[in-house]
Amino acid sequence: MADSNASGVASKRAYVVAIAVILLMWQVAAWFLPDFLMPDVPVALQRLWQELQSPAFYEGLGNSMSRLGAGYGAALVSGIILGLVGGTLNAVRSTLKAGIIILQSIPSIAWVPLFLILMGFGNLPIIVVVAIGAFFPTALSVMNATESVEKVHISAARVMGASKLQMLRRVYFPAVTPELITGAQLAFGNAWRALISAEMIVGFSAGLGKSLAYSGEIADMTGVMTNILVIAVLAAVIDQVILERIKHRLLRYQYL
């Protein structure tokens, strides 16, 4: 326990240093470039403070988060199901895996033109693009983990008379959870990138990506940098705080 606390402090310190260096690099760039190209860090922080007071900011944030939630959530559920089923079916596993690897190499944002026409201008194409980005790493990690579940764990469950469903729920699912979480964190990165880019392109109703794109269009560099700041901070908070916490909760047995 003492060890994990110490490493926790160390990694927190590493984060603080990294953030300071990044902000410093930004500030150095701002000193060399004119203000209309690159704003000072304090100016952007001031704008951020103003934004945090405005209801429009929260409307955009809410829209983005619900798209992320819907797309990422759907991807996790379907990825876990496909991964578990695919991982246990020897006959289709290799084909399924090859298919995923091929489809995964297409940047999910590339689907936007197709989905815009197919689904119309609205939330749905953005959500689907987010889901596609998150689905493949989830399914692939669960499928790989399912394949390598220890034989003795499966045999033991069969000997105890487990049904197929009990086997999935009580043996396969917990056995693949460590890899699932790694896959889900990877999937979150993909989902987040897909969300911001899709919002920038589709530009349907308020959202973080749209707000960023709009600032660019009106050459409001302070707005651009403020939006980038928000996007960076949110991603770090979701990944490092929320997902890490869920990971520690689910894998509690490994940390004891």
- Binding residue count for another protein, defined by CB under 8 A: 20
Which structure tokens are listed for 95? 């084909």
Question: Which residue's structure tokens are 């880019």?
Answer: 197
**Residue 153 interacts with another protein (CB under 8 A): yes or no:** yes
To another protein, the closest distance from the beta carbon of 167 in angstroms equals 9
Q: In this structure, which long-range contacts are made by residues 170-176, counting pairs with CB atoms below 8 Å and at least 24 apart in sequence?
A: 172/84, 172/87, 172/88, 172/146, 173/80, 173/84, 175/145, 175/146, 175/149, 175/150, 176/83, 176/84, 176/87, 176/141, 176/142, 176/145, 176/146, 176/149
Q: Which of 4, 121, 155, 241 binds another protein (CB under 8 A)?
A: 155
To another protein, the closest distance from the beta carbon of 201 in angstroms equals 42
Instruction: Report the distance separating Cα 117 and Cα 55, nearest Å.
Output: 32
**Residue 107 interacts with another protein (CB under 8 A): yes or no:** no
Q: Which of 150, 236, 246, 248 binds another protein (CB under 8 A)?
A: 150
**Residue 157 interacts with another protein (CB under 8 A): yes or no:** yes
Give the contacts of 77 (CB within 8 A, at least 6 positions apart).
Answer: none
To another protein, the closest distance from the beta carbon of 179 in angstroms equals 13
Q: Which is nearer to another protein, 16 or 156 (CB)?
A: 156
**Residue 32 interacts with another protein (CB under 8 A): yes or no:** no
Which structure tokens are listed for 84? 């578990």
Q: Which is nearer to another protein, 228 or 250 (CB)?
A: 250
**Residue 249 interacts with another protein (CB under 8 A): yes or no:** no
- Among residue numbers 167 through 186, which ones bind another protein (CB under 8 A)? 170-171, 174-175, 177
